[in-house]
Amino acid sequence: MVLCDNMQKSAQDYLKTIYSLSKNEEGIVNTTDISQKLDVTPASVTEMLKKLSEEGYIKYSPYHGSTLTEKGLKEAQKVTRKHRLLESFLSNVLRIGNDKVHQEACQMEHTLSDEAEESLCRLLNHPDTCPDDGKTIPACDLPFSNCEECVQLHKKGLEQVGKRDKNLVSIKDLKNGTYGKISFIRGEHKVLQRLLDMGLTPGTQIQVIKVAPLDGPVEISVRSSKLAIGQNIACNVFVEITN
């Protein structure tokens, strides 16, 4: 697939590509895959990767591949989130065909401000997946533990609210055995309340036991009980990794 071809490949595009190619939080992405996805020669990819590595966004080893650092992950999640929110907006609100939204979003994502990003999220009622390929939209970086807090408290203005300093990962993207601390649950009240009732309150330590194949449920251990959570809910449960 050609990604954002009619513009110069920015560092953000590289980070976004590495993010989407890595299967889980430690996923190593090789240079050939990046060059294919971005439609750029391997040589220029290598050059850019070295630059990103120098700036501390990725860990890069020539014959092994690249992984995102915390700093890189933050940047990658941000731009991916903007991209996928824009896709949702273009598709669900402006009714632009799913074949075109990707291109459009690619051009808009770099100029969308953080404030517009959060307004978009609220306008779209906190969407969880993007319309064209069903991929999970990363969580926002506001310090809320659910969307209702955001709706109520954002009025203070973004500067007042502050930012979350840790990166959040959805439990569906975690490797088996990873520990995490419940930090944010996205979505409507009913699902949130059900998860709270089952013990997934903010700050709770969980462990991912197993992710079923074919986009199946995620089995987690929480408060010494084991729960299976379907993909469509799991993609809304975000943790801070605490391994």
Partner 1 sequence: MTTPTPNIDQKNKTPTSDVTKKSAKNNNDDTGKQFTFALAGNANVGKSVIFNQLTGSNQIIGNWPGKTVDRAEGLLFFEGYNIKVIDLPGIYSFSTFSMEEIVSRDYVALEHPNAVINVVDASVLERNLFFTLQLLEMNAPLVLVLNQVDIAKNKGIIIDKDHLSKLLGVPVVFATATRGEGIYEAVKEAVNLATNKPKSNLLRYRKDLEEQISKLQNLIEKENLNLGYPSRWVAIKLLEGDTEIAKMVNEKSPSVIAQSRFIAAEFEKHCQEKCFTIIASERYALSNSIVVSSLQQDEIWHPFTDKLDWFSTHRIFGYITAFAVIGGLLLWTFFIGNTLSNFISQGLNYINPINPLLSTSAPFLSIILNGVWGGFEAGLTLIIPFVIPFYLLLAFIEDSGLLTRVAFMMDSAMHKIGLHGKALIPIILGYGCSVPAIHSCKIMETRRERLLAAFAITFAPCSARTIVLFGMVGLFVGIHWALLLYVVNLAIIFAMGKIAMKAVPGKSTGLIMEMSSFKRPSLKIALKQTWTRTKSIIYLVFPIYIIGSALIQLLYFYDILTPISNAFYPITVIWLGLPAFAGILLLLGAVRKELIILGATAILGTTNLLVGFTSIQLVIMALVAMLYIPCVSTMATLGKEFGWKTATLISIANICTALIIGGIAFQTLNFFV
Toward partner 1, which CB reaches closer, 50 or 189? 189
| DSSP secondary structure, 30-65, as one string | -HHHHHHHHT--HHHHHHHHHHHHHTTSEEEETTTE
Toward partner 1, which CB reaches closer, 100 or 194? 194
Q: Are 50 and 60 in contact (CB under 8 A)?
A: yes
Query: In the complex, what is the shortest distance from the CB of residue 192 to partner 1, in angstroms, rounded to a whole number?
Result: 8
Query: In the complex, what is the shortest distance from the CB of residue 175 to partner 1, in angstroms, rounded to a whole number?
Result: 14
In sequence order, what are the residues at sequence separation of 6 or more whose Cβ sits closer than 8 angstroms to the Cβ of residue 131?
Answer: 87, 88, 91, 92, 98, 101
Strand partners, 179: 207
Query: In the complex, what is the shortest distance from the CB of residue 240 to partner 1, in angstroms, rounded to a whole number?
Result: 16
Query: In the complex, what is the shortest distance from the CB of residue 172 to partner 1, in angstroms, rounded to a whole number?
Result: 11
Toward partner 1, which CB reaches closer, 53 or 202? 202
Q: Are 26 and 67 in contact (CB under 8 A)?
A: yes
Toward partner 1, which CB reaches closer, 146 or 170? 146
- Which residue ranges make up the site for partner 1 (CB under 8 A)? 143, 145-146, 148-149, 152-153, 190-199, 201-204, 210, 212-217, 219, 223-234
Toward partner 1, which CB reaches closer, 62 or 230? 230
Toward partner 1, which CB reaches closer, 61 or 193? 193
Geometric angle at alpha carbon 73, from 165 and 97, rounded to 5°:
115
Q: Are 171 and 239 in contact (CB under 8 A)?
A: yes
Q: SS3 of 6, please?
A: coil
Burial 120-143 (b: 16+ CB within 10 A, else e): bbeeeebbbbbbbeebbbbbbbbb
Query: In the complex, what is the shortest distance from the CB of residue 71 to partner 1, in angstroms, rounded to a whole number?
Result: 26
Query: In the complex, what is the shortest distance from the CB of residue 216 to partner 1, in angstroms, rounded to a whole number?
Result: 4
Residue in this structure with the two tokens 């997934």, named with its chain if needed:
200
